[in-house]
Amino acid sequence: VAKERIFNFAAGPATLPESVLLKAQTELYNYHGSGMSIMEMSHRGKEFDGVIKKAESDLRRLLNISDDYAVLFLQGGATTQFAAIPLNLCAPEDVTDYIVTGSWGDKAFKEAKKYSKANLLWSGKSDKYTTIPSFDGLQQSPNAKYLHICANETIHGVEFKSYPTPSNADAVLVADMSSNFCSKPVDVSKFGLIYAGAQKNVGPSGVTIVIVRKDLLGNAQPTTPVMLDLKIHADNASLYNTPPCFTIYICGLVFADLLEQGGLAEVEKKNMKKAGLLYDAIDESNGFYVCPVEKSVRSLMNVPFTLQKSDLEKKFIEEASKEGMVQLKGHRSVGGVRASIYNAMPLAGVEKLVAFMKDFQARHP
């Protein structure tokens, strides 16, 4: 049994801030003197009401979300939103545009084809998802209801650094921000809908956060299941049915922690420093380590790389694990190595990984 915490580079569920885990531990048994754990309480009681309201207001402060937007805490993962988005934002005969920069965007696109006339505006598949297109050259559908992007592709490590604007004035931009949510400031007003599974940057798995412009709600397709109707959740302040109470509670602790750190501009600075260290180590390795992603769109959160001597990858991952750096294996669909360095990964974890990479290279000339 590990006595100390180790450095966990998992893509999600992922490492959480130690201060949050310790606070949750002290409150777990007896929440604020109630004699109960938060996970044993009614979701309609005053304690949980306080928890969800504070989580929402702290998230609103972090991302500067105006009252024009509803903030929802839902279940079913980001994958459920792949269907819920077309079901809520368009009719089956409406056109929707998808820019696909990785596997998650591709999954969203395929699901949307069932509930709209989804158009594949651009796909990076032939380049193995290593880049993002220039927005000028994209011929968006003139009548599209929305333009969908995946802001950060968790498997391929490709991240939008700026966002396209829908060319149709009535269309809105929709983004899956699951793996870079709350990692940097975002101008929410540029989006019609943002969604994110919690289990990378802001909590355990079990809750998906949806930030949606209120005027877009109320037009769900008639066959939309009640649990996928965003207006129902908005009208019921995410309490239409029993929400994932414990997960929301932990997300609330993470939001408070991010505010304490000085907000998302400060968080972004730390993330840039960590990612910079790691990408520099890769780029300065004389080709021993290779990151296939185009430099200008490399993710601050998920850093995929391969070893030029690919037969050494297994050894690299095993030795790193023995030194207390775990979950470095690339996604099963792409192989190689992937270091996920979300908000809660300390700088010390990245420094240790970089030192290990240099040492490993020196031992394998």
Mask 157-176, x = binds ligand PLP (CB under 6 A)?
Answer: -------------------x
Minimum distance, C-beta of residue 202 to ligand PLP, in the bound complex (Å): 12
Contact call for residues 176 and 149 (beta carbons, < 8 A):
yes
Vertex 134, ends 308 and 332: CA angle to 5°? 35
d(CA 41, CA 43): 6
Minimum distance, C-beta of residue 103 to ligand PLP, in the bound complex (Å): 8
List the one residue from 118, 132, 150, 220 that touches ligand PLP (CB under 6 A): 150
* 214 alpha carbon, distance to own chain's centre: 22
Query: How many residues of this chain interact with ligand PLP, rule: CB under 6 A?
Result: 11
Q: What is the footprint of ligand PLP within residues 173-192 (CB under 6 A)?
A: 176, 178-179
Mark whether 104 is an active-site residue.
Answer: yes
List the one residue from 88, 101, 140, 154 that touches ligand PLP (CB under 6 A): 154
Mark whether 176 is an active-site residue.
Answer: yes
Q: Which among 252, 197, 220, 280 is positioned nearest to 60, based on CA atoms?
A: 252
Type of residue found at 27: E
Contact call for residues 213 and 81 (beta carbons, < 8 A):
no
Q: Which two tokens stand for residue 242?
A: 């029993």
- Compute CA distances 349 → 246, 273, 301, 355, 357, whole Å: 28, 12, 14, 10, 12
d(CA 64, CA 55): 14
Instruction: Output phi, psi for 153, to 5 deg.
Output: -85, 110
| C-beta nearest to ligand PLP: residue | 77
- From 200, 229, 257, 329, the catalytic residue: 200
d(CA 289, CA 327): 18
Give the strand pairing for 193-197 and 208-213: antiparallel
Minimum distance, C-beta of residue 303 to ligand PLP, in the bound complex (Å): 14
Minimum distance, C-beta of residue 131 to ligand PLP, in the bound complex (Å): 17
Q: Which two tokens stand for residue 287?
A: 């080709």
d(CA 54, CA 85): 26
Mark whether 200 is an active-site residue.
Answer: yes
- From 58, 104, 106, 229, the catalytic residue: 104
From the list 77-85, 231-239, 258-266, 305-313, the region that binds ligand PLP by CB under 6 A is: 77-85
Q: What is the footprint of ligand PLP within residues 24-63 (CB under 6 A)?
A: none
Handedness of CA 190, 193, 198, 200 (dihedral sign): negative
From the list 30-38, 75-83, 253-261, 304-312, the region that binds ligand PLP by CB under 6 A is: 75-83
Minimum distance, C-beta of residue 78 to ligand PLP, in the bound complex (Å): 4
Mask 232-271, x = binds ligand PLP (CB under 6 A)?
Answer: ----------------------------------------
List the one residue from 12, 124, 157, 164 that touches ligand PLP (CB under 6 A): 12
Tell whether residue 85 is a contact of ligand PLP (CB under 6 A).
no
Tell whether residue 77 is a contact of ligand PLP (CB under 6 A).
yes
d(CA 304, CA 348): 19
What is the set of active-site residues?
Answer: 104, 176, 200
Contact residues toward ligand PLP (CB under 6 A) are 12, 77-79, 104, 150, 154, 176, 178-179, 197
